Amino acid sequence: MLTITPIPAFDDNYVWLFRNPGGQVAAVVDPGDGEPVLEYLKVHGLELGAVLVTHHHGDHTGGVRDLLRVFPGIPVFGPARESIPVVTRALREGDRVRVPGVDAEFTVMDVPGHTAGHIAFYGEDALFCGDTLFTAGCGRVFDGTAVDLFRSLSRIAALPAKTRIYCAHEYTLDNLGFAKWVEPDNAALLEREKHDRASRASDRPTVPSLLALELETNPFLRADVPQVIEAAQNHAGRPLQGGAEVFAAVRSWKDREYD
Ligand SMILES: [Zn+2]
Protein backbone atom coordinates (compact mmCIF):
# COMPACT_ATOMS: atom_id res chain seq x y z
CA MET A 1 0.00 0.00 0.00
CA LEU A 2 1.21 3.50 -0.81
CA THR A 3 0.65 7.01 0.39
CA ILE A 4 0.80 9.25 -2.66
CA THR A 5 1.09 13.02 -2.26
CA PRO A 6 1.13 15.84 -4.79
CA ILE A 7 3.88 18.44 -4.47
CA PRO A 8 2.85 21.46 -6.53
CA ALA A 9 5.55 22.98 -8.75
CA PHE A 10 5.58 25.90 -11.21
CA ASP A 11 2.08 27.08 -12.17
CA ASP A 12 0.24 23.80 -12.53
CA ASN A 13 2.65 20.84 -12.28
CA TYR A 14 2.36 18.07 -9.72
CA VAL A 15 5.45 16.14 -8.63
CA TRP A 16 4.05 12.92 -7.15
CA LEU A 17 5.73 11.61 -4.01
CA PHE A 18 5.02 8.09 -2.84
CA ARG A 19 6.01 6.00 0.15
CA ASN A 20 4.59 3.27 2.35
CA PRO A 21 2.29 4.60 5.09
CA GLY A 22 4.59 5.70 7.90
CA GLY A 23 7.66 4.90 5.77
CA GLN A 24 10.79 7.02 6.01
CA VAL A 25 11.84 6.59 2.38
CA ALA A 26 10.00 8.19 -0.51
CA ALA A 27 10.30 8.37 -4.28
CA VAL A 28 9.19 11.14 -6.58
CA VAL A 29 7.86 11.14 -10.12
CA ASP A 30 8.73 13.89 -12.62
CA PRO A 31 10.47 16.44 -10.40
CA GLY A 32 10.64 19.42 -12.74
CA ASP A 33 11.71 21.52 -9.78
CA GLY A 34 13.84 20.12 -6.93
CA GLU A 35 13.26 22.84 -4.37
CA PRO A 36 9.66 22.10 -3.34
CA VAL A 37 10.54 18.39 -3.16
CA LEU A 38 13.53 19.00 -0.88
CA GLU A 39 11.38 21.26 1.26
CA TYR A 40 8.68 18.58 1.57
CA LEU A 41 11.23 15.88 2.45
CA LYS A 42 12.79 18.10 5.10
CA VAL A 43 9.48 19.10 6.70
CA HIS A 44 8.37 15.46 6.87
CA GLY A 45 11.76 14.01 7.85
CA LEU A 46 11.95 11.75 4.78
CA GLU A 47 14.78 10.39 2.69
CA LEU A 48 14.61 10.12 -1.07
CA GLY A 49 15.11 6.56 -2.39
CA ALA A 50 14.66 7.10 -6.13
CA VAL A 51 13.47 9.40 -8.87
CA LEU A 52 11.16 8.28 -11.68
CA VAL A 53 10.75 10.30 -14.87
CA THR A 54 8.23 9.70 -17.65
CA HIS A 55 9.69 11.79 -20.49
CA HIS A 56 12.36 14.31 -21.36
CA HIS A 57 10.53 17.64 -20.97
CA GLY A 58 12.25 20.08 -18.62
CA ASP A 59 9.23 20.57 -16.38
CA HIS A 60 9.50 16.84 -15.56
CA THR A 61 13.29 16.45 -15.28
CA GLY A 62 14.70 19.89 -14.37
CA GLY A 63 14.92 19.23 -10.63
CA VAL A 64 16.69 15.88 -10.74
CA ARG A 65 20.22 17.27 -10.41
CA ASP A 66 19.29 19.29 -7.33
CA LEU A 67 17.84 16.15 -5.75
CA LEU A 68 20.98 14.14 -6.58
CA ARG A 69 23.16 16.76 -4.91
CA VAL A 70 21.37 16.05 -1.63
CA PHE A 71 20.81 12.31 -2.24
CA PRO A 72 23.81 11.25 -4.35
CA GLY A 73 23.75 7.84 -6.01
CA ILE A 74 20.03 7.13 -5.82
CA PRO A 75 18.60 5.47 -8.95
CA VAL A 76 16.94 7.66 -11.57
CA PHE A 77 14.50 5.59 -13.62
CA GLY A 78 13.48 6.88 -17.04
CA PRO A 79 12.68 5.97 -20.63
CA ALA A 80 15.31 4.10 -22.64
CA ARG A 81 14.08 5.64 -25.86
CA GLU A 82 14.70 9.26 -24.84
CA SER A 83 17.96 11.05 -24.17
CA ILE A 84 17.87 12.20 -20.54
CA PRO A 85 21.43 12.49 -19.18
CA VAL A 86 20.41 12.16 -15.49
CA VAL A 87 18.71 8.78 -16.04
CA THR A 88 20.71 5.87 -14.60
CA ARG A 89 18.15 3.06 -15.14
CA ALA A 90 16.84 3.07 -18.70
CA LEU A 91 13.46 1.33 -18.94
CA ARG A 92 11.37 -0.33 -21.63
CA GLU A 93 7.92 -1.86 -21.93
CA GLY A 94 7.43 -4.60 -19.34
CA ASP A 95 10.41 -3.70 -17.15
CA ARG A 96 9.77 -3.79 -13.40
CA VAL A 97 10.71 -0.97 -11.05
CA ARG A 98 11.36 -1.41 -7.36
CA VAL A 99 12.40 1.57 -5.25
CA PRO A 100 14.91 0.75 -2.51
CA GLY A 101 13.20 1.31 0.84
CA VAL A 102 9.66 1.35 -0.58
CA ASP A 103 7.57 -1.80 -0.69
CA ALA A 104 5.90 -1.45 -4.10
CA GLU A 105 6.50 -2.58 -7.64
CA PHE A 106 5.66 -0.86 -10.90
CA THR A 107 5.52 -2.15 -14.44
CA VAL A 108 6.73 0.08 -17.26
CA MET A 109 4.41 0.81 -20.15
CA ASP A 110 5.66 2.39 -23.37
CA VAL A 111 3.15 5.16 -24.08
CA PRO A 112 4.54 7.24 -26.95
CA GLY A 113 2.63 10.12 -28.49
CA HIS A 114 3.17 13.25 -26.40
CA THR A 115 6.86 12.47 -26.84
CA ALA A 116 8.31 9.61 -28.89
CA GLY A 117 9.70 7.61 -25.96
CA HIS A 118 7.28 8.50 -23.15
CA ILE A 119 6.78 5.79 -20.51
CA ALA A 120 4.27 5.33 -17.69
CA PHE A 121 4.58 3.47 -14.38
CA TYR A 122 1.73 1.14 -13.44
CA GLY A 123 1.27 -0.63 -10.13
CA GLU A 124 -0.56 -0.54 -6.78
CA ASP A 125 -3.76 0.45 -8.67
CA ALA A 126 -2.00 3.66 -9.72
CA LEU A 127 -0.72 4.95 -13.05
CA PHE A 128 1.92 7.67 -13.20
CA CYS A 129 1.38 8.76 -16.76
CA GLY A 130 3.19 12.11 -17.04
CA ASP A 131 1.72 14.09 -19.94
CA THR A 132 0.08 11.18 -21.82
CA LEU A 133 -3.39 11.01 -20.30
CA PHE A 134 -4.63 14.06 -18.42
CA THR A 135 -7.71 14.33 -16.27
CA ALA A 136 -10.47 15.01 -18.84
CA GLY A 137 -7.85 15.47 -21.57
CA CYS A 138 -4.55 14.23 -22.99
CA GLY A 139 -1.13 15.61 -23.84
CA ARG A 140 -0.41 17.44 -27.04
CA VAL A 141 1.51 15.64 -29.76
CA PHE A 142 5.11 16.93 -29.70
CA ASP A 143 7.75 14.54 -31.01
CA GLY A 144 5.41 11.53 -31.18
CA THR A 145 2.43 11.05 -33.51
CA ALA A 146 -1.33 11.19 -33.02
CA VAL A 147 -1.60 7.51 -34.00
CA ASP A 148 0.99 6.61 -31.33
CA LEU A 149 -0.90 8.64 -28.76
CA PHE A 150 -4.22 7.02 -29.69
CA ARG A 151 -2.69 3.56 -29.28
CA SER A 152 -1.10 4.51 -25.96
CA LEU A 153 -4.37 5.90 -24.61
CA SER A 154 -6.21 2.79 -25.79
CA ARG A 155 -3.80 0.66 -23.79
CA ILE A 156 -4.33 2.82 -20.71
CA ALA A 157 -8.10 2.59 -21.24
CA ALA A 158 -7.81 -1.20 -21.02
CA LEU A 159 -6.30 -1.12 -17.50
CA PRO A 160 -8.63 -1.95 -14.59
CA ALA A 161 -11.30 0.76 -14.18
CA LYS A 162 -10.26 1.23 -10.54
CA THR A 163 -6.82 2.50 -11.63
CA ARG A 164 -6.07 5.97 -10.27
CA ILE A 165 -4.65 8.37 -12.81
CA TYR A 166 -1.75 10.45 -11.51
CA CYS A 167 -0.96 12.87 -14.33
CA ALA A 168 1.57 15.65 -14.03
CA HIS A 169 -0.61 18.76 -14.40
CA GLU A 170 -3.71 20.34 -12.90
CA TYR A 171 -5.59 20.95 -16.15
CA THR A 172 -8.96 19.43 -15.30
CA LEU A 173 -11.28 22.44 -15.38
CA ASP A 174 -9.77 23.74 -18.59
CA ASN A 175 -10.03 20.28 -20.16
CA LEU A 176 -13.65 19.90 -19.07
CA GLY A 177 -14.47 23.12 -20.92
CA PHE A 178 -13.36 21.54 -24.18
CA ALA A 179 -14.93 18.17 -23.33
CA LYS A 180 -18.29 19.98 -23.18
CA TRP A 181 -17.76 21.25 -26.73
CA VAL A 182 -17.51 17.62 -27.83
CA GLU A 183 -20.26 16.18 -25.61
CA PRO A 184 -22.54 18.97 -24.36
CA ASP A 185 -25.18 16.44 -23.26
CA ASN A 186 -22.92 14.04 -21.34
CA ALA A 187 -24.51 13.99 -17.87
CA ALA A 188 -21.45 12.40 -16.22
CA LEU A 189 -19.31 15.19 -17.63
CA LEU A 190 -21.56 17.94 -16.28
CA GLU A 191 -21.64 16.23 -12.89
CA ARG A 192 -17.86 15.94 -12.89
CA GLU A 193 -17.46 19.62 -13.67
CA LYS A 194 -19.60 20.57 -10.68
CA HIS A 195 -17.54 18.33 -8.42
CA ASP A 196 -14.16 19.46 -9.75
CA ARG A 197 -15.09 23.15 -9.64
CA ALA A 198 -15.90 22.74 -5.96
CA SER A 199 -12.52 21.03 -5.40
CA ARG A 200 -10.59 23.84 -7.07
CA ALA A 201 -12.63 26.51 -5.29
CA SER A 202 -11.33 25.09 -2.02
CA ASP A 203 -7.83 24.65 -3.45
CA ARG A 204 -7.95 20.85 -3.55
CA PRO A 205 -6.30 18.95 -6.44
CA THR A 206 -8.60 17.22 -8.94
CA VAL A 207 -5.84 14.67 -9.55
CA PRO A 208 -5.77 11.72 -9.21
CA SER A 209 -8.96 10.69 -10.94
CA LEU A 210 -10.31 7.22 -11.50
CA LEU A 211 -9.90 5.59 -14.89
CA ALA A 212 -13.62 4.68 -14.67
CA LEU A 213 -14.48 8.39 -14.57
CA GLU A 214 -12.11 9.18 -17.44
CA LEU A 215 -13.79 6.51 -19.55
CA GLU A 216 -17.14 8.26 -18.99
CA THR A 217 -16.01 11.87 -19.40
CA ASN A 218 -12.70 12.21 -21.26
CA PRO A 219 -13.34 12.75 -24.99
CA PHE A 220 -9.86 11.43 -25.82
CA LEU A 221 -10.81 8.01 -24.45
CA ARG A 222 -14.19 8.04 -26.19
CA ALA A 223 -13.36 7.93 -29.91
CA ASP A 224 -15.77 4.98 -30.26
CA VAL A 225 -18.77 6.77 -28.73
CA PRO A 226 -21.42 7.83 -31.30
CA GLN A 227 -21.77 11.40 -30.00
CA VAL A 228 -17.99 11.92 -30.06
CA ILE A 229 -17.72 10.47 -33.57
CA GLU A 230 -20.55 12.72 -34.74
CA ALA A 231 -19.06 15.85 -33.16
CA ALA A 232 -15.62 15.09 -34.64
CA GLN A 233 -17.07 14.48 -38.09
CA ASN A 234 -19.16 17.65 -37.95
CA HIS A 235 -16.12 19.64 -36.96
CA ALA A 236 -13.84 18.03 -39.56
CA GLY A 237 -16.52 18.36 -42.24
CA ARG A 238 -15.94 14.82 -43.50
CA PRO A 239 -16.55 11.22 -42.52
CA LEU A 240 -13.89 9.74 -40.22
CA GLN A 241 -12.90 6.09 -40.35
CA GLY A 242 -12.01 4.39 -37.08
CA GLY A 243 -10.90 5.44 -33.64
CA ALA A 244 -7.48 6.83 -34.58
CA GLU A 245 -8.99 9.26 -37.11
CA VAL A 246 -11.68 10.38 -34.68
CA PHE A 247 -9.08 10.83 -31.97
CA ALA A 248 -6.73 12.83 -34.23
CA ALA A 249 -9.62 15.08 -35.33
CA VAL A 250 -10.60 15.82 -31.72
CA ARG A 251 -6.96 16.46 -30.77
CA SER A 252 -6.43 18.94 -33.61
CA TRP A 253 -9.81 20.58 -32.91
CA LYS A 254 -8.67 21.34 -29.37
CA ASP A 255 -5.17 22.43 -30.50
CA ARG A 256 -6.47 24.86 -33.06
CA GLU A 257 -9.54 26.32 -31.49
CA TYR A 258 -9.56 25.80 -27.76
CA ASP A 259 -6.13 26.39 -26.28
ZN1 LIG B 1 5.60 17.04 -21.54
Query: What is the per-residue pLDDT for 108?
Result: 98
Catalytic residue among 30, 33, 110, 131: 131
Query: What is the per-residue pLDDT for 7?
Result: 98
In a structure prediction context, what are the per-residue pLDDT tens digits for the chain, which is 259 residues long? 899 999 999 999 999 999 999 999 999 999 999 999 999 999 999 999 999 999 999 999 999 999 999 999 999 999 999 999 999 999 999 999 999 999 999 999 999 999 999 999 999 999 999 999 999 999 999 999 999 999 999 999 999 999 999 999 999 999 999 999 999 999 999 999 999 999 999 999 999 999 999 999 999 999 999 999 999 999 999 999 999 999 999 999 999 999 6
Catalytic residue among 56, 60, 118, 196: 60
Q: Ligand 1 center to residue 138 CA distance, Å? A: 11
Q: Ligand 1 center to residue 45 CA distance, Å? A: 30
Residue 211 and residue 161 in contact, taking contact as beta carbons nearer than 8 Å: yes
Task: Find all residues with CB under 8 Å of 168, minimum gap 6, and list them.
Answer: 13, 14, 15, 16, 29, 30, 54, 59, 60, 129, 130, 131
Q: Ligand 1 center to residue 158 CA distance, Å? A: 23
Query: What is the per-residue pLDDT for 135?
Result: 98
- Tell me, yes or no, if the pTM score tops 0.85: yes
Cα dihedral across residues 213, 216, 219, 223: positive or negative: positive
Active site residue 118: no
Catalytic residue among 30, 33, 59, 110: 59
- Interhelix angle 187-201/172-182, rounded to 10 degrees, is 160
